[in-house]
Structure 1
Amino acid sequence: MLRVTGRHFCQLLREMDNLHSQMRFGFPKMRSPSMVVTEYDRSGAVLLYRSCRHGLSHYLMGQLLQIAKDFYNLTLNVEVVKEESQDLTYCTTFKLDFDNAGFVKEMQEQCASFHRPYLSDFTLGKLFMFFPFGLVLDPDLRVRLAGERILQLLGKDLLGSEFLEHFTIQRPHIRFSWDAIKVFQSVTWEVQSTKLPERSTRSNSLDTVSETPLRRGSSQAPWSSQQSSLTSFRGLLLKGQMYILKENNIALFLCMPLLNNLVEMRETGLFLNDLAMHDLSREMVLKGWDHCSRLQILYEQQEKCSERLEDAHVRRQKAKARGDDLLYSMLPRQVADNLRQGKGAEATCQTFNEVSVLFAEVCLAAGSDTLGAMDLMKTVNDIYKLLDHATDQYSVFKVETVGGVYMVVGGAPEYQPDHCAQVAALALHMLMEVVEAHIHNLRIGIHVGPVAAGVVGLKMPRYCLFGDTVNTASRMQTNGKAGRIQVSERCVPVLERFQFSTSFRGKMQIKGKGEMNTYWLEGRDPSAPSLATPKPSINTNTTTTITTPDNDHHDDDDDDDHDDNTTQPNGDTDGPEHVVDAVEKREEDEGKEEEEGEGKEEEEGEGKEEDENKEKEEEEKEVKEEEKE
């Protein structure tokens, strides 16, 4: 760009401000410096450099030296004449020594060509036919003459008034004066009217076009409303060149309106016929309209793309949440997070001095083999839904389900000081859930002791427990009864501290352990604080009941007839109560209903027989009467 900016080095310096002015459209936030050639002769020039940044003058000196050497093959000498600060602007005056004879000769030839009598009388009136927005200023900076179009827009009051009463200087950033016009003749000027054009009101009243440009559907490009609001308040923006006629001691401002699109042109009260044909004003307006239309289409496309990205992000978050829920249901959160961080399975292995292990099994009767596979799976699945709902309300972790066996641990992998109470409360809650769903075949066992735990497997990692405690808890369950909770002797002291009630079952022969004292978990004092965290209940629509096996292999327990009051595991009832009583009471109610049904059937049968006898007697009477007749 610098190679084609000026034929001579001095021309390059004079065009730098104009070059920065064009670059600001591509870099709207750029705070460009200003460089103006105030004097020039055959041996060099004087350059005025102004910038809002301090300390860049030496950087500019290096650039000028290199440009003069590489592009113009000149030897340049730079000298700082003066440095000062004005209104937060740092000004530096440079004396540039270089061979400037070519530029001076060209300028002298241009001045000589102006005096050639090609045209006889070319008045300012004829000049304003080509520049209908032009202005003529005197040394007092008053407007003496103006073009036809700008007078139509701003009114006749413009003539004879001071220039700064109607306009503000946008570029260059200087104090407006006659001397400044002399210095900045080679720089592009931009001025803005301080009031709205008069024709804009009339054109808006006659125009029925919508105030919102390029609206499609419900979407609107953000720049459309912004441009509309800006043009509504900024007035008319003129861009051109200030040129002094020394013979007449006046300054010409040859300019044209700066418009971005048809909307701005309409808001300023202009029409296409008001714009000159020899410049690019019309092309800029029409291209700006076409550019806005293209931007509107691109904006709508990007808006749809953003909506798709937002939807994809929401779906991704939901999928991630589902994946996390599934992962945390298979592995403890702490263990899963360690694996996510790249830690090996060995890092998850731990030993625990004391945890509580619970086994619960759905006892399938011998007749369940005749059930269909789908019915059996549905029933077991419904039971597991109830157990999962109960498990979620306590500080425990569901280890696994194998067949009809449901395994839970408390106190691992995160230690809980009340792990035994949490597991016991969960067991009572499980029984309550299944009883309410008309299921009476759940058998539960609990034991407390040390275990080793960790993740096993790579393809399908599982959190597993190892140790004799797991085996003993499993034996407590397999040697228990349906609808009962059997606990080991080691659990009893801990449970009593948390106001649980237990009853001694007796000495049981446990496989691999010999004789062990076992206990039934009966309930908990309702005045004790709840251990559960209430969550919304679920509807499983469970109606299928699997009959409890008749051939229970533990018939030697006849000491289960206790007068204890029953209680629900969360302590919401009026008094402690035996959990099995609820099951037995439900069975007694069903038996009474069956007996009542049988009695009703017998009564109905007897009633039918009496009716039949009456009918026979009536028929016999009718026959006898017919015989008599």
Structure 2
Amino acid sequence: MYGMLLESVQHFIQLEYGEETWLAILESVGYRNTVFRTHHIYPDELIMKLADAAVTLVANGSTRQDFLRFFGRCFVRYFSHYGYEKFIKVCGRYFCDFLTGIDNIHLQMRYMYPKMVSPSMYISHEDADGVLLHYRTTRNGFCPYLIGQLHQIANDFYGIPLTVEELPNTPFSQEESYQFRFRLNFDNRDYMAGRAACNGSLELGRINISNRGSVKTIASEKALSSLSSSILMQLFPFTLVFRPNLEIISAGRQLKNMFPGDMLIGQPLPDVARIRRPKLLFTWDNLYSLQKVLCEMEILPASQIERKNTRHLAPERADAVAHRGAKEESRRLLLQGQLRYLSDWDAMIFLCNPLAITYAAFFCFMKRIRINNLEDMDGMGLTINDLSLHGHGRDMVMAGWQHNSRLEDLYERAEERSQQLQQTYELQDEWKKRGDKLLYSMIPQSVADSLRSGTDPVDTCQAFESITVLFVELANIDEITATSPMEAVSCMNSVFSCFDNIIDQHSVYKVETVGKVYMVVGGAPETNETHVRDVALVALSFRDEIEKIVNSSEMSVHIRIGFHTGSAVAGVVGRKMPRYCFFGDTINTAARMQTTSLPGKIHISHNSFCRLQKLDGFVCELRGTVLVKGKGEMNTHWLLRYELPSIEEPK
């Protein structure tokens, strides 16, 4: 689907539920910080995911179907930004007129959205209380979305209340397609009255066809001269006439020229043509219900029609037909027009023109039909003289021949610019992800997102009742710096990179590195009850990894570790070079544990020791009374190791 549908969802969720709700919905569907683009193609299932996320995050008791209907209403309310509401207003005086022509609207929208996969809709029954609407689509689950659109259009453009009732589906054999039927209930009396009045004033009589092939018109007030059926077929040179059994009984002059020997006459319509739009089964009842819908049919090449009867031909003739069919495979005639049932004929007439001529030369290249010049017309077996004088086909072909090269050049430039724009968007997304990664490495994600939404930095400050703060220092880095500064930098980079890999495996947060000191916090900014255990395991991993580095290389480095448990306050302060900082006596005490520690040792406060004693596996040793600057004498301990609790085997 095109991004315009998702833009409408974004606009009205932000408007009615707030920016924070929309950002949470985007994050839950994996599109965090995404800006939807109007002409970009997105997965069809994305709108379903947005509806499911809205059900979870918007606590108003709505279901997925409720939000899909809301999304449909949002689209109708939103497309006025592009001026499409003017297009809807001129579709018809009545809501029934709009429903009748909605399939034609989708056909016209393909010019602006060439990759659009539009559904097919038509009306099979009309009465004073509503209509019966048929809906066919390749997408499953979009019925509530369509219902929301219909409700909004009926209310905004026609000022009528609408109720929709879904009816049991009829069988539909086409793969990857879904068919639905809806009874739309609304006040349709004005439309029916207007149609009855129009039929009464314009009716001239009935049309009869005689055995001689002549047409006689009997006027209600004044008789008209008889009209020959041959003249009718000349006026509409691509016309097809067929019976309720779908047997073709007559064809226009040009079709007879393209299919000589009355090849089409007497053939079943499904054997010589395929209905391209709307997509439905080729039956009389279905075709009868399409009298107000713009239809497209594809006429098969003459060789392919002839090939169906090759079993009755001589082998040499059959081979010639097959060889000619391979060359003519691309020469398929596309017809677009209207089906009309003539009761006195008891037949259906398809009044149409070639689709390729109708779209050539202004829009044809957008549809990739490639009938853009006179040479292509000749390849299709068509000439300008084949087109009706009363139509616009001749003018459009000649104009297309003169302007086609210019349009092709403009189209290629537009395609190139579109690709450049797409690459720019992709590059923008990539750099945005890099920026987010860098930002989240300095500030916690929850805090960074809060700042993005406009929160004042001071408002991000939060008090924590219990956290564990760890400091680790490279004890002898000054000695290395005195002899070789670059070696000291390389040593610090190796050690701190090793520490970064370790904390990624635990629920702790790296606050900062200041000089030769590395600071880690457990229990903040995301609170948890296992922060003492997490920090203790990190401290042991730091010590063990440094021992491995020293034993496996010539690097001689020692670390001092200390941590303490207590309360603190954290948040972002300042506007330039913002940092997520911790404040309180707990940080000072943890720093004293580190400075009074010994190389290769983990020094912990009595608070942390008491909490570790409640956990299994941690082995500690009393250090004794230590004089701590600013604290006086304190009882502290050494953290020695972590032993996995043994599991006794059942006797």
Calculate the TM-score normalised by the size of structure 1.
0.49
Calculate the TM-score normalised by the size of structure 2.
0.47
Q: Please say which structure displays the higher CA radius of gyration.
A: 1
